[in-house]
Protein backbone atom coordinates (compact mmCIF):
# COMPACT_ATOMS: atom_id res chain seq x y z
CA UNK A 1 0.00 0.00 0.00
CA UNK A 2 2.97 2.35 0.55
CA UNK A 3 2.87 5.38 -1.66
CA UNK A 4 -0.45 4.46 -3.22
CA UNK A 5 -3.55 6.62 -3.11
CA UNK A 6 -6.28 5.00 -1.08
CA UNK A 7 -9.80 6.29 -1.15
CA UNK A 8 -10.74 6.67 2.50
CA UNK A 9 -13.84 4.54 2.28
CA UNK A 10 -14.74 1.01 3.25
CA UNK A 11 -18.13 0.33 1.75
CA UNK A 12 -20.46 1.96 -0.73
CA UNK A 13 -23.60 0.61 0.91
CA UNK A 14 -25.49 2.58 3.52
CA UNK A 15 -25.54 0.72 6.82
CA UNK A 16 -28.42 -1.62 7.52
CA UNK A 17 -27.79 -2.29 11.20
CA UNK A 18 -30.06 -1.40 14.08
CA UNK A 19 -30.71 2.28 14.66
CA UNK A 20 -30.10 3.20 11.04
CA UNK A 21 -31.75 6.43 9.94
CA UNK A 22 -32.67 7.65 6.49
CA UNK A 23 -29.54 8.68 4.63
CA UNK A 24 -28.99 12.36 3.84
CA UNK A 25 -29.27 13.55 0.23
CA UNK A 26 -25.47 13.65 -0.27
CA UNK A 27 -23.36 10.67 0.79
CA UNK A 28 -19.76 11.59 1.52
CA UNK A 29 -16.48 9.73 1.83
CA UNK A 30 -15.09 10.78 5.17
CA UNK A 31 -11.74 10.10 6.79
CA UNK A 32 -11.48 10.41 10.56
CA UNK A 33 -7.95 10.69 11.94
CA UNK A 34 -7.84 9.35 15.51
CA UNK A 35 -9.71 6.39 16.94
CA UNK A 36 -10.21 7.75 20.46
CA UNK A 37 -13.61 8.34 22.02
CA UNK A 38 -14.25 11.40 19.84
CA UNK A 39 -13.16 9.84 16.56
CA UNK A 40 -15.15 6.65 17.04
CA UNK A 41 -18.28 8.47 18.22
CA UNK A 42 -18.10 10.70 15.14
CA UNK A 43 -17.64 7.68 12.89
CA UNK A 44 -20.79 6.09 14.36
CA UNK A 45 -22.80 9.29 13.97
CA UNK A 46 -21.74 9.72 10.33
CA UNK A 47 -22.13 6.11 9.30
CA UNK A 48 -25.65 5.98 10.71
CA UNK A 49 -26.49 8.70 8.22
CA UNK A 50 -25.10 6.62 5.37
CA UNK A 51 -21.69 8.25 4.87
CA UNK A 52 -18.70 6.05 4.13
CA UNK A 53 -16.25 6.35 6.99
CA UNK A 54 -12.68 5.23 7.55
CA UNK A 55 -10.91 5.83 10.86
CA UNK A 56 -7.10 5.90 11.01
CA UNK A 57 -5.59 5.22 14.44
CA UNK A 58 -1.88 5.43 15.11
CA UNK A 59 -1.80 2.88 17.92
CA UNK A 60 -1.06 -0.78 17.22
CA UNK A 61 -3.91 -1.77 19.54
CA UNK A 62 -7.17 0.09 20.08
CA UNK A 63 -7.83 1.21 23.63
CA UNK A 64 -7.98 4.04 26.12
CA UNK A 65 -5.58 5.31 28.74
CA UNK A 66 -6.87 5.87 32.28
CA UNK A 67 -9.68 4.20 34.15
CA UNK A 68 -13.03 5.86 34.78
CA UNK A 69 -15.07 8.33 32.81
CA UNK A 70 -18.44 9.95 33.40
CA UNK A 71 -20.99 9.87 30.62
CA UNK A 72 -23.39 12.72 31.33
CA UNK A 73 -26.88 12.72 29.78
CA UNK A 74 -26.04 15.27 27.07
CA UNK A 75 -23.80 12.63 25.46
CA UNK A 76 -25.63 9.61 26.93
CA UNK A 77 -28.80 10.52 25.04
CA UNK A 78 -26.90 10.59 21.75
CA UNK A 79 -25.17 7.29 22.48
CA UNK A 80 -28.52 5.73 23.33
CA UNK A 81 -30.14 6.86 20.10
CA UNK A 82 -27.12 5.72 18.08
CA UNK A 83 -27.31 2.18 19.45
CA UNK A 84 -24.02 2.47 21.39
CA UNK A 85 -25.44 2.17 24.92
CA UNK A 86 -26.59 -1.37 24.21
CA UNK A 87 -22.91 -2.32 24.01
CA UNK A 88 -22.00 -0.93 27.46
CA UNK A 89 -25.27 -1.36 29.35
CA UNK A 90 -24.02 -4.23 31.54
CA UNK A 91 -20.71 -2.45 32.24
CA UNK A 92 -21.86 0.98 33.46
CA UNK A 93 -22.66 2.09 36.98
CA UNK A 94 -25.66 4.38 37.43
CA UNK A 95 -24.75 6.43 40.51
CA UNK A 96 -27.54 7.54 42.78
CA UNK A 97 -26.05 10.92 43.64
CA UNK A 98 -23.02 13.16 43.73
CA UNK A 99 -21.78 14.60 47.01
CA UNK A 100 -19.09 17.22 47.48
CA UNK A 101 -17.38 16.82 50.84
CA UNK A 102 -15.29 19.00 53.09
CA UNK A 103 -11.60 18.10 52.80
CA UNK A 104 -11.02 17.74 56.51
CA UNK A 105 -13.81 15.48 57.69
CA UNK A 106 -15.81 14.45 54.62
CA UNK A 107 -18.96 16.25 55.77
CA UNK A 108 -21.38 16.94 52.90
CA UNK A 109 -21.26 20.49 51.52
CA UNK A 110 -23.08 19.95 48.20
CA UNK A 111 -25.47 17.31 46.98
CA UNK A 112 -26.97 16.47 43.57
CA UNK A 113 -29.48 13.66 43.24
CA UNK A 114 -28.76 11.87 39.97
CA UNK A 115 -31.11 8.89 40.12
CA UNK A 116 -33.94 9.11 39.13
CA UNK A 117 -33.77 12.91 38.65
CA UNK A 118 -31.37 12.95 35.71
CA UNK A 119 -33.23 10.22 33.78
CA UNK A 120 -36.53 11.96 34.52
CA UNK A 121 -35.29 15.40 33.49
CA UNK A 122 -32.71 14.60 30.80
CA UNK A 123 -33.87 11.32 29.30
CA UNK A 124 -31.09 8.91 30.29
CA UNK A 125 -29.22 8.07 33.50
CA UNK A 126 -25.92 9.68 34.47
CA UNK A 127 -23.39 6.90 33.80
CA UNK A 128 -19.88 6.19 35.01
CA UNK A 129 -17.89 3.53 33.22
CA UNK A 130 -14.42 2.16 32.60
CA UNK A 131 -12.95 3.99 29.59
CA UNK A 132 -11.98 0.69 28.01
CA UNK A 133 -15.63 -0.45 28.12
CA UNK A 134 -16.84 2.85 26.63
CA UNK A 135 -14.25 2.70 23.87
CA UNK A 136 -15.04 -0.95 23.12
CA UNK A 137 -18.75 -0.14 22.86
CA UNK A 138 -18.08 2.64 20.35
CA UNK A 139 -15.77 0.41 18.36
CA UNK A 140 -18.28 -2.46 18.34
CA UNK A 141 -21.08 -0.19 17.14
CA UNK A 142 -18.82 1.43 14.53
CA UNK A 143 -17.76 -1.91 13.05
CA UNK A 144 -21.33 -3.21 13.21
CA UNK A 145 -22.37 -0.25 11.07
CA UNK A 146 -19.56 -0.86 8.58
CA UNK A 147 -16.98 1.75 9.61
CA UNK A 148 -13.47 0.74 8.59
CA UNK A 149 -11.14 1.23 11.58
CA UNK A 150 -7.48 0.87 10.65
CA UNK A 151 -4.81 0.64 13.35
CA UNK A 152 -1.04 1.19 12.91
CA UNK A 153 -1.86 4.25 10.81
CA UNK A 154 -0.12 7.31 12.13
CA UNK A 155 -0.86 10.35 10.00
CA UNK A 156 2.25 12.49 9.62
CA UNK A 157 1.17 15.04 7.02
CA UNK A 158 -1.80 16.47 5.18
CA UNK A 159 -2.54 18.11 1.88
CA UNK A 160 -5.60 19.96 3.06
CA UNK A 161 -6.47 21.24 -0.42
CA UNK A 162 -7.15 17.72 -1.78
CA UNK A 163 -7.81 16.74 1.07
CA UNK A 164 -5.29 13.96 1.70
CA UNK A 165 -3.69 12.44 4.80
CA UNK A 166 -0.37 10.61 4.58
CA UNK A 167 0.67 7.96 7.09
CA UNK A 168 4.23 7.49 8.26
CA UNK A 169 4.54 4.34 6.14
CA UNK A 170 3.63 6.37 3.04
CA UNK A 171 -0.01 5.49 2.45
CA UNK A 172 -2.14 8.36 1.18
CA UNK A 173 -5.84 8.58 1.99
CA UNK A 174 -8.13 10.94 0.14
CA UNK A 175 -11.72 11.79 1.02
CA UNK A 176 -14.40 14.44 0.57
CA UNK A 177 -13.70 15.60 4.11
CA UNK A 178 -11.05 14.80 6.73
CA UNK A 179 -11.98 15.12 10.38
CA UNK A 180 -9.00 15.37 12.72
CA UNK A 181 -9.95 13.84 16.06
CA UNK A 182 -6.30 13.43 16.95
CA UNK A 183 -6.34 14.70 20.50
CA UNK A 184 -4.75 17.53 22.39
CA UNK A 185 -1.36 17.08 20.69
CA UNK A 186 -3.02 17.28 17.26
CA UNK A 187 -0.83 17.29 14.17
CA UNK A 188 -3.72 18.59 12.07
CA UNK A 189 -4.25 21.74 14.16
CA UNK A 190 -1.09 23.32 12.76
CA UNK A 191 -2.33 22.66 9.21
CA UNK A 192 -5.75 24.10 9.98
CA UNK A 193 -4.12 27.21 11.42
CA UNK A 194 -2.10 27.75 8.27
CA UNK A 195 1.25 26.32 9.45
CA UNK A 196 1.65 27.78 12.93
CA UNK A 197 0.13 25.90 15.84
CA UNK A 198 -1.51 27.65 18.77
CA UNK A 199 -0.67 25.10 21.40
CA UNK A 200 -2.92 24.30 24.33
CA UNK A 201 -1.90 25.88 27.60
CA UNK A 202 -0.92 24.14 30.81
CA UNK A 203 -3.36 25.22 33.47
CA UNK A 204 -1.26 24.81 36.59
CA UNK A 205 -3.38 21.78 37.50
CA UNK A 206 -2.20 18.17 37.61
CA UNK A 207 -4.06 14.97 38.43
CA UNK A 208 -3.14 11.54 39.70
CA UNK A 209 -5.38 8.81 38.33
CA UNK A 210 -5.72 5.56 40.27
CA UNK A 211 -8.02 2.62 40.91
CA UNK A 212 -8.52 0.41 43.95
CA UNK A 213 -9.95 -3.11 43.86
CA UNK A 214 -13.26 -2.76 45.73
CA UNK A 215 -12.80 -6.16 47.41
CA UNK A 216 -10.08 -4.43 49.50
CA UNK A 217 -12.63 -1.88 50.74
CA UNK A 218 -15.66 -4.04 51.51
CA UNK A 219 -14.64 -5.19 54.99
CA UNK A 220 -13.62 -1.83 56.39
CA UNK A 221 -16.65 0.08 57.62
CA UNK A 222 -14.76 3.38 57.44
CA UNK A 223 -14.70 3.08 53.66
CA UNK A 224 -17.17 0.37 52.62
CA UNK A 225 -19.98 2.98 52.63
CA UNK A 226 -18.32 4.50 49.56
CA UNK A 227 -19.38 1.37 47.69
CA UNK A 228 -22.85 0.91 49.10
CA UNK A 229 -24.11 4.48 48.68
CA UNK A 230 -23.67 4.10 44.89
CA UNK A 231 -22.61 7.69 44.50
CA UNK A 232 -19.85 9.94 43.29
CA UNK A 233 -18.00 11.40 46.26
CA UNK A 234 -15.68 14.36 45.89
CA UNK A 235 -13.52 15.92 48.58
CA UNK A 236 -12.60 19.57 47.99
CA UNK A 237 -10.11 21.81 49.81
CA UNK A 238 -7.30 24.30 49.38
CA UNK A 239 -5.57 23.81 46.01
CA UNK A 240 -6.69 20.15 45.80
CA UNK A 241 -9.65 17.86 45.28
CA UNK A 242 -10.42 14.18 44.82
CA UNK A 243 -13.21 12.83 42.64
CA UNK A 244 -14.26 9.20 43.21
CA UNK A 245 -16.76 6.65 41.91
CA UNK A 246 -17.12 2.95 41.20
CA UNK A 247 -16.65 1.54 37.71
CA UNK A 248 -16.43 -1.84 35.99
CA UNK A 249 -19.78 -3.03 37.36
CA UNK A 250 -18.65 -1.98 40.86
CA UNK A 251 -15.42 -4.00 40.94
CA UNK A 252 -13.07 -0.98 40.81
CA UNK A 253 -13.03 2.27 42.78
CA UNK A 254 -11.88 5.06 40.48
CA UNK A 255 -10.07 8.15 41.77
CA UNK A 256 -8.87 11.36 40.14
CA UNK A 257 -6.74 13.28 42.64
CA UNK A 258 -6.13 16.79 41.42
CA UNK A 259 -3.88 19.54 42.74
CA UNK A 260 -2.36 22.84 41.70
CA UNK A 261 1.09 22.15 40.27
CA UNK A 262 3.03 24.65 38.19
CA UNK A 263 6.18 22.54 37.89
CA UNK A 264 7.48 21.30 34.55
CA UNK A 265 5.97 17.85 33.78
CA UNK A 266 9.33 16.72 32.38
CA UNK A 267 10.69 16.90 35.95
CA UNK A 268 8.01 14.57 37.37
CA UNK A 269 9.39 11.29 38.66
CA UNK A 270 7.01 8.33 38.10
CA UNK A 271 8.89 6.23 40.65
CA UNK A 272 7.80 8.52 43.52
CA UNK A 273 4.27 9.21 42.23
CA UNK A 274 2.46 7.11 44.86
CA UNK A 275 4.33 8.69 47.80
CA UNK A 276 3.98 12.20 46.31
CA UNK A 277 0.25 11.68 45.85
CA UNK A 278 -0.17 10.53 49.46
CA UNK A 279 1.73 13.56 50.71
CA UNK A 280 -0.64 15.97 48.93
CA UNK A 281 -3.58 14.64 50.93
CA UNK A 282 -1.98 14.28 54.35
CA UNK A 283 -4.30 15.71 56.99
CA UNK A 284 -7.42 15.23 54.84
CA UNK A 285 -10.39 13.09 55.92
CA UNK A 286 -8.91 9.90 57.45
CA UNK A 287 -11.42 7.80 55.48
CA UNK A 288 -10.21 9.25 52.19
CA UNK A 289 -6.66 8.58 53.31
CA UNK A 290 -7.55 4.97 54.07
CA UNK A 291 -8.57 4.53 50.42
CA UNK A 292 -5.50 6.41 49.20
CA UNK A 293 -3.32 4.05 51.25
CA UNK A 294 -4.67 1.16 49.13
CA UNK A 295 -3.36 2.72 45.90
CA UNK A 296 -0.22 0.94 44.74
CA UNK A 297 0.08 2.42 41.26
CA UNK A 298 -0.68 5.86 39.88
CA UNK A 299 0.15 8.11 36.97
CA UNK A 300 0.37 11.89 37.19
CA UNK A 301 -1.10 13.92 34.30
CA UNK A 302 -0.73 17.58 33.49
CA UNK A 303 -4.21 19.02 32.90
CA UNK A 304 -4.33 20.98 29.70
CA UNK A 305 -6.84 23.44 28.34
CA UNK A 306 -6.89 24.31 24.65
CA UNK A 307 -6.27 27.88 23.67
CA UNK A 308 -9.24 29.51 22.01
CA UNK A 309 -8.18 29.25 18.38
CA UNK A 310 -9.59 31.41 15.59
CA UNK A 311 -10.71 28.53 13.39
CA UNK A 312 -11.23 24.76 13.35
CA UNK A 313 -11.35 24.60 9.55
CA UNK A 314 -8.46 24.48 7.07
CA UNK A 315 -8.45 27.06 4.24
CA UNK A 316 -9.84 24.51 1.73
CA UNK A 317 -12.71 23.82 4.18
CA UNK A 318 -12.00 20.10 3.66
CA UNK A 319 -10.16 19.42 6.94
CA UNK A 320 -11.82 20.14 10.28
CA UNK A 321 -10.87 19.66 13.92
CA UNK A 322 -13.02 17.84 16.47
CA UNK A 323 -12.77 16.90 20.15
CA UNK A 324 -9.66 17.61 22.20
CA UNK A 325 -7.71 18.73 19.12
CA UNK A 326 -10.04 21.75 19.05
CA UNK A 327 -11.12 22.32 22.64
CA UNK A 328 -9.29 20.27 25.28
CA UNK A 329 -10.44 21.27 28.74
CA UNK A 330 -9.66 20.50 32.36
CA UNK A 331 -11.91 17.65 33.50
CA UNK A 332 -13.73 19.65 36.19
CA UNK A 333 -17.14 19.51 34.51
CA UNK A 334 -16.48 15.89 33.36
CA UNK A 335 -17.44 16.98 29.87
CA UNK A 336 -14.38 16.69 27.58
CA UNK A 337 -15.38 13.45 25.86
CA UNK A 338 -19.04 14.48 26.00
CA UNK A 339 -18.13 17.59 23.97
CA UNK A 340 -16.37 15.37 21.40
CA UNK A 341 -19.48 13.15 21.15
CA UNK A 342 -21.62 16.27 20.70
CA UNK A 343 -19.20 17.54 18.01
CA UNK A 344 -19.66 14.25 16.13
CA UNK A 345 -23.43 14.53 16.42
CA UNK A 346 -23.44 18.10 15.15
CA UNK A 347 -21.13 17.41 12.24
CA UNK A 348 -23.08 14.32 11.16
CA UNK A 349 -26.32 16.29 11.39
CA UNK A 350 -25.18 19.25 9.31
CA UNK A 351 -23.33 17.18 6.69
CA UNK A 352 -26.46 15.11 6.23
CA UNK A 353 -28.55 18.20 5.64
CA UNK A 354 -26.65 19.51 2.61
CA UNK A 355 -28.16 18.97 -0.79
CA UNK A 356 -24.96 19.47 -2.78
CA UNK A 357 -21.26 18.90 -2.09
CA UNK A 358 -20.80 22.59 -2.83
CA UNK A 359 -22.48 23.29 0.53
CA UNK A 360 -19.88 21.34 2.51
CA UNK A 361 -17.90 24.45 3.38
CA UNK A 362 -21.02 26.25 4.62
CA UNK A 363 -21.84 23.17 6.69
CA UNK A 364 -18.35 23.08 8.23
CA UNK A 365 -18.61 26.74 9.10
CA UNK A 366 -22.00 26.23 10.73
CA UNK A 367 -20.51 23.32 12.72
CA UNK A 368 -17.59 25.47 13.84
CA UNK A 369 -19.81 28.34 14.94
CA UNK A 370 -22.21 26.20 16.94
CA UNK A 371 -19.56 23.98 18.50
CA UNK A 372 -17.16 26.80 19.42
CA UNK A 373 -19.93 28.52 21.36
CA UNK A 374 -20.80 25.34 23.24
CA UNK A 375 -17.37 23.83 23.90
CA UNK A 376 -15.55 27.04 24.78
CA UNK A 377 -18.42 27.76 27.20
CA UNK A 378 -17.85 24.35 28.77
CA UNK A 379 -14.12 24.98 28.91
CA UNK A 380 -14.78 28.13 30.92
CA UNK A 381 -17.26 26.37 33.23
CA UNK A 382 -14.59 23.71 33.88
CA UNK A 383 -12.01 26.33 34.82
CA UNK A 384 -14.55 27.97 37.13
CA UNK A 385 -14.81 24.72 39.10
CA UNK A 386 -11.01 24.73 39.33
CA UNK A 387 -11.34 28.01 41.23
CA UNK A 388 -14.47 27.22 43.23
CA UNK A 389 -13.32 23.88 44.58
CA UNK A 390 -9.88 25.03 45.62
CA UNK A 391 -10.57 27.91 48.01
CA UNK A 392 -8.60 27.90 51.23
CA UNK A 393 -10.78 27.92 54.34
CA UNK A 394 -11.98 31.49 54.76
CA UNK A 395 -14.65 33.91 53.53
CA UNK A 396 -14.72 32.69 49.90
CA UNK A 397 -14.99 29.06 50.98
CA UNK A 398 -17.75 29.91 53.45
CA UNK A 399 -19.67 31.85 50.79
CA UNK A 400 -19.31 28.93 48.37
CA UNK A 401 -20.51 26.43 50.97
CA UNK A 402 -23.43 28.67 51.94
CA UNK A 403 -24.40 28.79 48.26
CA UNK A 404 -24.66 25.00 48.23
CA UNK A 405 -26.18 24.41 51.64
CA UNK A 406 -29.86 24.31 50.60
CA UNK A 407 -29.34 21.19 48.48
CA UNK A 408 -27.61 19.39 51.37
CA UNK A 409 -30.36 20.35 53.80
CA UNK A 410 -33.15 19.44 51.37
CA UNK A 411 -34.45 23.02 51.15
CA UNK A 412 -35.77 24.41 47.84
CA UNK A 413 -33.28 26.53 45.88
CA UNK A 414 -33.23 28.47 42.62
CA UNK A 415 -29.46 28.72 42.27
CA UNK A 416 -26.40 26.94 43.59
CA UNK A 417 -22.63 27.42 43.58
CA UNK A 418 -22.46 23.70 42.73
CA UNK A 419 -22.59 23.58 38.91
CA UNK A 420 -24.08 20.06 38.95
CA UNK A 421 -27.09 21.37 40.90
CA UNK A 422 -27.55 24.94 39.77
CA UNK A 423 -30.81 24.76 37.76
CA UNK A 424 -29.72 27.13 34.98
CA UNK A 425 -26.29 25.53 34.54
CA UNK A 426 -27.76 22.04 34.77
CA UNK A 427 -30.22 22.72 31.99
CA UNK A 428 -27.49 24.26 29.81
CA UNK A 429 -25.07 21.37 30.39
CA UNK A 430 -27.34 18.30 30.34
CA UNK A 431 -30.41 19.53 28.49
CA UNK A 432 -28.49 20.58 25.36
CA UNK A 433 -29.39 18.54 22.29
CA UNK A 434 -26.44 18.73 19.88
CA UNK A 435 -28.40 17.43 16.88
CA UNK A 436 -31.35 19.74 17.41
CA UNK A 437 -29.17 22.81 18.05
CA UNK A 438 -27.15 22.09 14.90
CA UNK A 439 -30.33 21.72 12.86
CA UNK A 440 -31.55 25.09 14.15
CA UNK A 441 -28.22 26.77 13.37
CA UNK A 442 -28.15 25.28 9.88
CA UNK A 443 -31.68 26.53 9.24
CA UNK A 444 -30.49 30.08 9.92
CA UNK A 445 -27.57 29.60 7.48
CA UNK A 446 -29.78 28.42 4.64
CA UNK A 447 -32.48 30.94 5.49
CA UNK A 448 -35.27 28.58 6.61
Ligand X SMILES: Cc1cc2nc3c(=O)[nH]c(=O)nc-3n(C[C@H](O)[C@H](O)[C@H](O)COP(=O)(O)OP(=O)(O)OC[C@H]3O[C@@H](n4cnc5c(N)ncnc54)[C@H](O)[C@@H]3O)c2cc1C
- The span from the CA of 54 to the CA of 42, in Å, is 11
- Please provide the size of the chain in residues: 448
- Compute the distance between CA of residue 171 and CA of residue 381 in angstroms, rounded to an integer: 41
Q: How far is the CB of 220 from ligand X (least distance, A)?
A: 26
Minimum distance, C-beta of residue 153 to ligand X, in the bound complex (Å):
6
Q: How many CA atoms lie within 13 A of 80 on its CB side?
A: 15
Angle (nearest 5°) at CA 92 between 90 and 93 = 120
Query: Which pairing describes strands 299-305 and 201-213: parallel, antiparallel, or unpaired?
Result: antiparallel
Task: Kindly state the DSSP code that residue 92 receives in the 8-state scheme.
Answer: -
d(CA 444, CA 5): 38
Shortest spacing between CB 82 and ligand X, in angstroms: 16
Nearer residue to ligand X within complex by CB, 134 or 354? 134
Please report how close the Cβ of residue 406 comes to ligand X at its closest, in angstroms.
26
**Minimum CB distance to ligand X smaller for 122 or for 354:** 122
Closest CA to 180 of 304, 2, 312, 328: 312
Please identify, using beta-carbon distances, which residue of 70 and 441 lies nearer to ligand X. 70
- Residue nearer to ligand X on the CB measure, 94 or 362: 94
Q: Which residues bind ligand X (CB under 6 A)?
A: 33-39, 56-59, 69-70, 153-155, 181-183, 187, 207, 209, 256, 301, 323-324, 331, 334-338, 340
Residue with smaller CB distance to ligand X, 164 or 354: 164
* C-beta of 214 vs 234, nearer to ligand X: 234
Q: Which is nearer to ligand X, 85 or 353 (CB)?
A: 85
- How far is residue 302's CA from residue 32's CA, in Å, rounded to a whole number? 26
Contact 339, 359 (CB under 8 A): no
DSSP letters spanning 311-322: -SB-TTS-EEE-
Q: Which residues neighbour 193 within 8 Å (Cβ) at sequence distance 6 or greater?
A: 309, 310, 311
Radius of gyration of the chain (CA): 22
**Going by DSSP bridges, is the β-strand pair 5-7/127-130 parallel, antiparallel, or unpaired?**
unpaired
155 vs 354, beta carbon nearer ligand X:
155
Amino acid sequence: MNGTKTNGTSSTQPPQANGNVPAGPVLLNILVVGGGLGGLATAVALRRKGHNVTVLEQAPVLGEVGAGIQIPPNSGRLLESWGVSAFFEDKVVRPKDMTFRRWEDGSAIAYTKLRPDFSDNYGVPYYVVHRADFHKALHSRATQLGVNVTINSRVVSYDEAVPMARTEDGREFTADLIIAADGVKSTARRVVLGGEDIAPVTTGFAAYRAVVDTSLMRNDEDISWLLTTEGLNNWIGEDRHVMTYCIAGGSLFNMVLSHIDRSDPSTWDPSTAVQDMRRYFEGWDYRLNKVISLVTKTVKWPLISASTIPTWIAPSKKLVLLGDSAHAMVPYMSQGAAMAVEDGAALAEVLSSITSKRDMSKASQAYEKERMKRSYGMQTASLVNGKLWHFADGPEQRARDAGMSAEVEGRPFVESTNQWSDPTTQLWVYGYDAEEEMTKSWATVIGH
